[in-house]
Amino acid sequence: MNTMNADNASSGDRGGMHRSEGIASSRSVRGNGNCGKRIVRTRSLLAFAAFTAFTAFPSFATDTGRLIDTLPPDQLKQVLEQLQNSYIDPKALTSDQVNSAAIKGLLVSLGPGVRVQSKAEFERAKPVHPFRYDVLQNQFGYIRIGTLRDTSPKDLDGAINDINARNLSGLILDLRTAGEESDYDLAEAVIDRFVGNEQPTFDLVQSGAARAKEFKAGSQPEYTGPVTVLVAPDTAGAAEVIAGVLKAKRRALIIGQNTSGRAVRYKTEELGDLVVEVADSKVVVPGIPALFPGGVAPDIVVSVPADLENQVLTQTDAGPLEPYVQDEVRPHLNEAALVHGINPELDEFEREQAGKAPPIKPKDETLQRAIDFLVTLNVYRRR
């Protein structure tokens, strides 16, 4: 459920500071007319120049960027005029070049707050991942929520009911294939299964709105046992908020990699063959650093190449999990081998060197780490 909160819920985060700076900039533009527009454009151009230099001269770019941030408007204008009047290649500083550099600089500085795509790319069908539920090692429930949709809470209820009925020792909630859904009512519906007592969970703050939309948990959670949440760099939107709230409420240990920082709602505009998405709302979760644009930092970091993790997740959407969690049993020297005068370990090594050994399946290291944590927790709790 949700109510309206009179506070804007984000006065202390970075987004608030950015808005204040934006107001000050817009006032200077209105007050100075075209001069103000040139100042804003100048700052963007110089910021982009610093970003371009970063790849070759990181320390130089960092120092230059800091200097640009300290310049007052009149000096910014002077720097641009100096470049236009004195640079050896005047064609590099035409109005079109300046405008192009300004847009590029803004896209870099705004990060996940703005996205520009071709219409074909925007309309390309996104992969749909299924919901799946398994019991691992006869003691842990594993829920891969898949692509978030209206049926996700009901699917989640069925899995949690089975976990409670079996009295399993822990739950793993996998959000790595949840996609980028911006339905935050759906996020709250998932959070309600783990957080109760009508606690405030998060706020949705819209640009220009007088009030933030406040979300609260239900009265009674369905699951109160240990939870781990698996996240990846592509975890975004509603899934990112689920992870952030469960971390803030200390209801779950987050495992994986930093999430995308796109806990926002985008306003979409078509401009010719382009689609421009601008974040006009963001989610604020009290108790943790700003989700936008920083994302959710995991409690346990598991660095896995994106292509490898996507391969594992795709193959296990429908296939068995065990080969990707359990390590292969390697041949080893034992009494029987000694009696027969053979060395299985040496034979296996020679097969590997000759390229004749069967390929080893990639492992889901993030899921392995979650299992390891829950196993350790159970051992500790039994003492």
* Pairing state between β 170-174 and 140-144: parallel
Pick 123 or 342 by higher pLDDT.
123
Q: Which of 6-10, 120-124, 280-284, 359-363 has the lowest mean pLDDT?
A: 6-10
Q: Per-residue pLDDT tens for 103-142? A: 888 888 899 999 999 999 999 988 999 999 999 999 999 9
Burial class (CB in 10 A: 0-12, 13-18, 19+), 217: buried
Q: Among the residues of the chain, which ranges form H helices? A: 14-32, 34-54, 58-70, 73-86, 95-110, 119-123, 152-166, 184-191, 237-248, 291-294, 306-315, 322-325, 335-340, 344-353, 365-382
The fold adopted by the segment(s) 125-306 is: 2-enoyl-CoA Hydratase; Chain A, domain 1 (3.90.226)
Distance CA(280)–CA(113), nearest Å, equals: 8
Copy the structure tokens of residue 293: 């644009």
Highest-scoring range by mean pLDDT, 9-18, 229-238, 358-367: 229-238
Mean pLDDT of 62-71: 79
Angstrom distance (rounded) from CA 257 to CA 72? 39
Burial letters for 125-157: b for 16+ Cβ neighbours within 10 Å, e otherwise? eeeebebbbbebeeebbbbbbbbbbeebbebbe
pTM score above 0.85? no
Query: Which ranges of 290-364 does DSSP label H, i.e. alpha helix?
Result: 291-294, 306-315, 322-325, 335-340, 344-353
- Cβ 101 vs Cβ 49: under 8 Å: yes
For the chain, domain boundaries: 33-111, 125-306, 320-375
Lowest mean pLDDT segment, chosen from 45-54, 69-78, 128-137, 362-371: 45-54
Over residues 176-198, the mean pLDDT reads 96
Question: For residue 54, is pLDDT > 60?
Answer: no
CA gap 237, 181 in Å, rounded: 6
Which residue, among 267, 255, 82, has the nearest Cα to 170 in the 3D structure? 255
Q: What single DSSP character describes residue 197? A: T
DSSP secondary structure, 247-298, as one string: HHTT--EEEES---S--EEEEEEEETTEEEEEEEEEEE-TTSS-HHHH-PPP
pLDDT at 9 over 70: no
